[in-house]
Structure 1
């Protein structure tokens, strides 16, 4: 959020951020937190824009649970429940703040640099991104921001030491893309 906030400040936007992200959270965790942490609900009540990235840890959990016998089937089976949880998340957010514009960032492939384009993994990410897009398209106020291609042509290193989360350069690229999507809604919220 820091890089995004800095970029928006540089463009003279008057924005404030509440960051409720938790490393390792999956969609089931977020649903539970929405219902159990009143500070999140309070922040949503005051929000003009909600920016979220959720679901990558759902995919990672499937990988961890099936590491010794990794096949495509568990990813296929988990995709629909993921979409259902995503709908529940959007329903909750919009029930708390019906005027909010919600943005969901898609998934990127953190393994592409080290393992090349592994076709099954690319297909899994593409299908989960498609599920995210399908769910967001059910809501007038929810926008999907594609990220799968964000690092494909990047020569610089864009990942942190864990080789999964972005480093500052990676976050800068994400921030640029997010700003491209947010600008109109930020302008409207400023007026």
Structure 2
């Protein structure tokens, strides 16, 4: 009987010892600094490849630095983002080209196909020369109906551009600039031109809305809207005392293309759109 009691007492003592050891070890482990759980995975910086295709606005006519107009400026802006490692650009702008000519290059130029296939985003400017050509062709007989055929052709060309780019690269986001009226400051009574531009831009925006991964970039207000009026400067000719309006965003050599400030504004519109889509 005594042996049994002794055995039970020893077993009980052993169990108490085990509990104490486990308690001490558990307390020691809790006191050790624990690695903090990663609440967020560190986002890797991305390399961006941007391809610009279009007319003189893409080429950068009017840029005093001759550095690609909005293209070089959007590259600089994108590199300031913490999520961006580097930005490469390709500029396929050709001054004077109509929308059908731009479309033809997209469909047949192997270099454009290669770059679009590798692009993260594609930027388009088109349509301005379609209007200019119509004005030159119709001259004094020009009317609102003179632009009906040109607008319809532009619509079809733009649709094909978007479709072809999507065939090359269905994952690339496409940004399409609208048109602006460079004559708004100098010929405010020329209402027909502004009406035409509104119709043209509305058509572009409507087409863009039906295209996946595409964004319309309105810039008309920069050159002839509230933004321009707030920054407009005037000078007075001493000989005839007439007030001369100066548009701060147009290239003074032709009063048609953007200048450095104009391209900076275009790049800012694009930059904001890209950030919104990220």
**TM-score, normalization by structure 2:** 0.64
Instruction: Give the superposed CA RMSD.
Output: 1.5
Deviations 1:22-48 (A, max 9, x none): 111111101111122100000000011
Are 2:244 and 1:172 equivalent residues in the alignment? no
Q: After TM superposition, where is structure 1 displaced by more than 3 Å over at least 4 residues in a row? A: 10-13
The reply to whether residue 74 of structure 1 matches residue 146 of structure 2 is: yes
- Structure 1 pair 10–126 and aligned structure 2 pair: CA distance change class (3 A): same
- Rounded to whole Å, the distance in 2 between the matches of 1:144 and 1:48 is 17
Structure 1 residues without counterparts, runs of 5 or longer? none
Shift of residue 117, structure 1, vs aligned partner = 4.9
How many residues are matched? 186
1:51 counterpart SS class: strand
What residue ranges of structure 2 are gaps of 5+ in the alignment?
Answer: 1-70, 234-247
**Residue 56 of structure 1 pairs with residue 128 of structure 2:** yes
Answering whether residue 179 of structure 2 is matched by residue 107 of structure 1, we say yes
CA–CA distance in structure 2, aligned partners of residues 77 and 150 of structure 1: 28
**Residue of structure 1 equivalent to 2:195:** 123
**Stretch deviating more after TM superposition (95-104 or 59-68):** 59-68
SS in 1 for 2:222: coil
Aligned to 2:104: 32
Q: Which has the larger radius of gyration?
A: 2
The higher-RCO structure (CA 8 Å, 6+ apart) is: 1
- Which structure has the highest strand share of the two? 2
Could you tell me the TM-score, scaled by structure 1's length?
0.91
* Aligned position for 1:19: 91
- The CA deviation string for residues 44-90 of structure 1, in whole angstroms up to 9 with x for no partner, is 00011111111111111111111222211111232122101100000
